[in-house]
């Protein structure tokens, strides 16, 4: 559907294309979830009620779908770019993992693939050139300000890319070794990709090493590290060095997203 929206609308009015894509994907997912799983709650970027801090039925529900109908909205509106995604994750109250995610799928329509937990992708192959720089995916538009220093510290090469889902998919497929974000994000930006990454056996945590948790009253989840297991300890140590002495807060963050910057 999103590929059809792009084809029908063209790229002359990016804001209108972004709005049309968000709306079409949200409406489709909301209708299908209501039809197939009428008893479950939904937390969606495009549903203001579900996003409300503390107020929604999702806080008492046993099963909550965490949905980002269009992640990488900016890239979706740029002709030729394929780094945008659709995220659908299922959170369950009695799940055995701290993150609570029991299923997830990340669709990359312009890359013609879907990564999902029902048949988790294989763990990525070891880097072809031993000793080559670690490749770290980061936001194209809002990379954490400490990332350049961190890259220098660990000898990493930064790979700018849009969409949290597309970046985590790049870690899953071995195109990059890690994804680091800080400074702002929401549960729907990472839930489905983190479900796939952990089902694949990759490391996923906050940048201080603590667990990612979902379906919290406040859906803000501002930072994360997803990487190959062997890189978790060195990258968390490098993150500690960057963040030591100050909180991982606005000082280290890119400016928060505004409607215009999305
Ligand atoms: N500082 C910030 N504050 C809030 N959201 C942010 C953010 N930085 C990135 N995001 C969100 O995280 C997703 C991936 O961002 P990026 O492409 O820059 O890596 C985007 O989701 P959406 O496209 O669904 O809005 C973007 O809005
Ligand atoms: Mg998003």
Q: Which of 136, 158, 164 for mutating ligand 1's site (highest number of atoms within 8 Å of CB)?
A: 164
Is the CB of residue 121 less than 8 Å from the CB of residue 198?
Answer: no
101 and 142 housed in the same domain: no
Q: Which of 116, 144, 170 is the last residue of a domain?
A: 116
Last residue of a domain, one of 116, 151, 180: 116
Residue 9's domain is classified under what CATH number?
Answer: 3.30.540.10
Q: Are residues 9 and 111 in the same domain?
A: yes
Q: Residue 190: which domain range?
A: 134-252
90 and 145 inside one domain:
no
Closest-CA residue, ligand 1 atom 24, reads: 71
Q: SS3 of 126, please?
A: coil
User: Whose C-alpha lies nearest to ligand 1, atom 15?
Assistant: 163
Give the ipTM: 0.98
Sign of CA dihedral 153, 231, 208, 107: positive
Q: Tell which atom from ligand 1 comes closest to the C-alpha of 162.
A: 17
Q: Are 105 and 115 in contact (CB under 8 A)?
A: yes
Pairing state of beta strands 224-227 and 178-181? antiparallel
Residue 204 within any structural domain of the chain? yes
Per-residue pLDDT, 129? 78
Report the distance separating Cα 2 and Cα 68, nearest Å: 13
Spell out the per-residue pLDDT of the chain, length 262, in tens: 999 999 999 999 999 999 999 999 999 999 999 999 999 999 998 787 777 766 578 999 999 999 999 999 999 999 999 999 999 999 999 999 999 999 999 999 999 999 999 999 999 988 777 788 999 999 999 999 999 999 999 999 999 999 999 999 999 999 999 999 999 999 999 999 999 999 999 999 999 999 999 999 999 999 999 999 999 999 999 999 999 854 344 444 444 443 333 3
Same domain, 61 and 106: yes
């Amino acid at each position: 559907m999103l590929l059809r929206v792009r084809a029908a609308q063209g790229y002359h009015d990016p804001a209108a294309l972004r709005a049309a894509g968000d709306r079409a994907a949200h409406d489709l997912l909301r209708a299908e979830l209501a039809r197939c799983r009428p008893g479950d709650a939904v937390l969606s970027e495009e549903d203001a009620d579900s996003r409300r801090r503390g107020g929604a039925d999702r806080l008492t529900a046993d099963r909550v779908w965490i949905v980002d109908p269009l992640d990488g909205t900016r890239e979706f509106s740029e002709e030729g770019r394929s780094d945008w995604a659709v995220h659908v994750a299922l959170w369950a109250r009695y799940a055995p993992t701290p993150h609570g995610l029991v299923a997830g799928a990340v669709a990359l329509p312009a890359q013609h693939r879907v990564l999902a937990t029902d048949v988790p992708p294989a763990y990525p192959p070891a880097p072809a050139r031993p000793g080559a720089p670690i490749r770290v995916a980061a936001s194209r538009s809002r990379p954490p300000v400490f990332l350049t220093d961190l890259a220098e510290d660990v000898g990493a090469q930064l790979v700018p890319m849009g969409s949290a889902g597309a970046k985590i998919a790049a870690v899953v497929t071995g195109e990059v070794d890690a994804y680091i974000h800080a400074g702002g994000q929401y549960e729907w930006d990472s839930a489905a990709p983190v479900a796939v990454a952990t089902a694949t056996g990759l490391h996923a945590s906050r940048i201080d090493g603590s667990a990612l948790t979902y379906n919290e009253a406040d859906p803000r989840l501002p930072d994360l590290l997803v990487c190959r297991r062997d890189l978790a300890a060195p990258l968390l140590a490098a993150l500690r060095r960057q963040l030591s002495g100050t909180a991982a807060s606005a000082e280290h963050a890119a400016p928060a997203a505004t409607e215009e910057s999305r």
